[in-house]
Chains A and B, each alone.
Chain A
């Protein structure tokens, strides 16, 4: 007997905040365009329960000096572009990235500490080379992050860069610099719902508007805690959609960094034959990690390999097709 079955729907009360990266000339910056993420009122790609006004976006990672420690697969794919951040950023834009994620390594190729002048010069060069909005990450040590990011924030005032990473032990300086010069911040917490929320509260307590905060829940790559990250992101997203205001930040995942760090993405020899070709294996590793996290609510995936960009772009297009 034919009949109609009504699919039960979740009625969410909350929404993810919309966060816009980059500022055009009329907005006080120099970007050719801006990128807005967030705004979801439903779990990833469940269009029948709510809206997803902005598709997830792709950022490509660029570093301020030659990444000799990277996998040979990456070094080969990018070639000489890796020797100049501006060239690298330009190529990333050509490959179809939505955003540039510039990582300041803290030391240059000669092993010397990056000065604030060098860091700001690199940021300026990248801003000139590309019209895309830019994310800038420090070396990851509190003192150096604060030193370099404060200078960068000042030098690129008005560009709506996303600065990071803010952690619970070191967020005040970066947030203050971002506040003063019209940038965004990335709040990073170690795979824990409560800690993520707490850091958002702390940053918000400094009067940073929450539409200028991205949230990094910390990425575990495939085989290295991916399911843990997935589950925490899913819980964060559900909390946000149920109305918990302090979890409603768009999420950014540093997929490339985590994925390419693993043995499976680096080892060409001394591994079982079944592992197959290194390039295919390592790119797949990044693709699977990125795709999984898109499914758990990632708004920005930061990638490294040019081939991954195309595949993930295609994946996003298909997932967004209603």
Chain B
């Protein structure tokens, strides 16, 4: 049972000189302290110090304990939900002892697992490992026992196959490419006329002229396996999901930096490179090289022959899609910004060079305009915002920040150049969210010492997007940086120093890192991060106002991007990346581009929905909107130049005194 909860500031004078007994479980340590002592101080005296990564400011919630019995008062309850408090949970650093108490100190791992996602407002990535709707992929495997030819039945091999498809499965008008036909006679005979035909049925509802296409003939009955891949080509990161089309499950996933980075970090520099001699070809080869590397990784790890992958659905921004198809992206960059096509036609893997079945269908999702691509149409699909009444804001934080606002009835979208900082590029020790990446940071406000959590609990290799959000927020709240993002040089810690790029803060010392050097964040990194978050905040501010509503009217916010496994909503608000609204309005969806491609791969109705979404979206060109620049300058500040837009952050700053 928990004791009496009295919410008040400080301690009451008349009881100051009285003593209380505190028992710490499970160790059973007992200590006598004066009434009015903080629980965290009593724990130190008892020899069981609590973890205080934030320096005892009640910000991080890591010193969570359970009051099993006795009387305490609490200085505030920001970090705890009402339910938590009713269950007796308390923060050691914010709890004042009022009488004899029995306290349970839980295992640290338990605290992390149980509380971080829910209470701190951080949400674990919600990758749907399986598709919950009705499975309806365009790929079908059909088993055929074909009567062998004889002198009595001299029908050609192709006609014989087509005849049996009609007779045994009612599938008509099947076509095949010349290269499939070249091996047809041999394949049929080697399989002794027992074959599995791999067919792409197309979608007659979307295209009345569509007819089934023979992709491959496999020997024997191989209807028990059928694979596809969902591909997201990001400007910075590429992701491939290996999907079992029979179960609709994602079997495995792999990601890597887009090899095109070596010729330019953003879309514009890639378009410029494409204008050079062989530039377009080189870019196409580079992205194919990246994707084939990922495909090899996936097929090897899962022991699936590449030939059994019969379909790829591809999402990505307009420029990435055009480079993938080797379509000159030049006019995307030039006024009035026109892509070659908005509904790419299906091609074969052979034509683009993808290392799966050469005849596999490669289906690129539709784009809206030059700067709102298939990554966003796929994202809207994955988010489900096209099917809700609630006013929804969808933010995809990528190298280009794309934003969609709307609901079932309407959708408006814009794109802003955000930069790759949150994807780990353009920041000295940035990295993608893979093993060893720092994904969460707390800084002790008294000593400026950080506590880092890495993916896989390995020695740190770098900082991923979620780690940068956390790091920036902690440096800001603890006063290591000012509101302009400049590092204070006069702090009494060796972790703050002047490096090659101005002031820097050492997050991990060389002897504790996996890379052999200090892991730091410097003022240039911080400028990049501020520009990224500023562009995104300005983008959705302008978009929301363009339809005459306020940010506060937004009922739910979906966040997509490659930050990491989760995003700490509270910290993203503290740095002004996300608007200051109740945490429960935010939902982190992870990589929605890949997710949308996955949905479109396993479900033809979903694939049709993407077309509908692309048709429905209105595009707002920010470069034609004169308020964007002003909003951007205003957002280049922590949390924002308009402090009144971030009341919760201002309250926190006042409380922590930084």
Interface residues of chain A, those whose CB is within 8 Å of chain B, are 168-169, 172, 192-195, 197-198, 201-202, 205, 246
Contact = CB atoms under 8 A, between A and B. Distances in A.
Contact of A202 (B482, B490, B630, B633): B482
Given A201-B641, A201-B643, A246-B643, A194 B636 contact: yes
B484 A198 contact: yes
Contacts of B484: 168, 198, 202
Contacts of B340: none
A269 to B, nearest CB: 42
Contacts of A192: 633
Interface of B: 482-484, 486, 488, 490, 630, 633-634, 636-637, 641, 643
Contacts of A195: 633
Contacts of A168: 484, 486
A198 B641 contact: yes
A194 B483 CA distance: 13
A205 B483 contact: yes
Given A192-B633, A198-B483, A202-B482, A172 B488 contact: yes
Contacts of A194: 630, 633-634, 636-637, 641
A169 B484 CA distance: 9
Contacts of A197: 641
Given A194-B630, A194-B636, A169 B641 contact: no
13 contacts: A168-B484, A172-B488, A192-B633, A193-B630, A194-B636, A195-B633, A198-B483, A198-B484, A198-B636, A198-B641, A201-B641, A202-B484, A246-B641
Nearest to B489: A172
Given A168-B484, A194-B633, A201-B643, 17 more contacts: A168-B486, A169-B486, A172-B488, A193-B630, A193-B633, A194-B630, A194-B636, A194-B637, A194-B641, A198-B483, A198-B484, A198-B637, A198-B641, A201-B483, A202-B483, A202-B484, A246-B641
The 9 closest A-B pairs by CB, nearest first: A194-B633, A194-B634, A194-B641, A198-B637, A197-B641, A198-B641, A168-B484, A202-B482, A202-B483
A246 B643 CA distance: 9
A193 B482 CA distance: 19
A194 B490 CA distance: 27
Nearest to A195: B633
Contacts, number: 32
A205 B643 CA distance: 12
B632 to A, nearest CB: 9
A193 B634 CA distance: 9
Nearest to B479: A205
A302 B633 CA distance: 29
B592 to A, nearest CB: 32
Contact of A205 (B482, B490, B630, B641): B482
Contacts of B643: 201, 246
Nearest to A176: B490
A172 B503 CA distance: 14
B358 to A, nearest CB: 55
Contacts of A205: 482-483
A225 to B, nearest CB: 17
Nearest to A201: B483
B472 to A, nearest CB: 17
Contacts of A202: 482-484
B271 to A, nearest CB: 30
A243 to B, nearest CB: 10
Contacts of B483: 198, 201-202, 205
A172 B634 CA distance: 21
A171 B431 CA distance: 33
A203 to B, nearest CB: 10
Nearest to B635: A194
A172 B490 CA distance: 10
Contacts of B482: 202, 205
A172 B637 CA distance: 17
Contacts of B637: 194, 198, 201
Contacts of B486: 168-169
Nearest to B502: A169
A246 B650 CA distance: 14
A290 B589 CA distance: 56
A193 B630 CA distance: 9
A271 B524 CA distance: 45
A168 B490 CA distance: 17
A169 B634 CA distance: 17
B496 to A, nearest CB: 13
Nearest to A170: B486
A192 B488 CA distance: 24
A168 B483 CA distance: 10
Nearest to A247: B641
A192 B486 CA distance: 19
Contacts of B633: 192-195
Contacts of B630: 193-194
A195 B636 CA distance: 9
Contacts of A198: 483-484, 636-637, 641
A195 B633 CA distance: 7
A195 B635 CA distance: 10
B531 to A, nearest CB: 14
A202 B490 CA distance: 16
Contacts of B641: 194, 197-198, 201, 246
Nearest to A199: B484
B626 to A, nearest CB: 13
A195 B630 CA distance: 10
Nearest to B634: A194
A185 B317 CA distance: 49
Nearest to B637: A198
A213 to B, nearest CB: 15
A180 to B, nearest CB: 14
Contacts of A169: 486
A172 B488 CA distance: 9
A194 B534 CA distance: 13
A198 B642 CA distance: 9
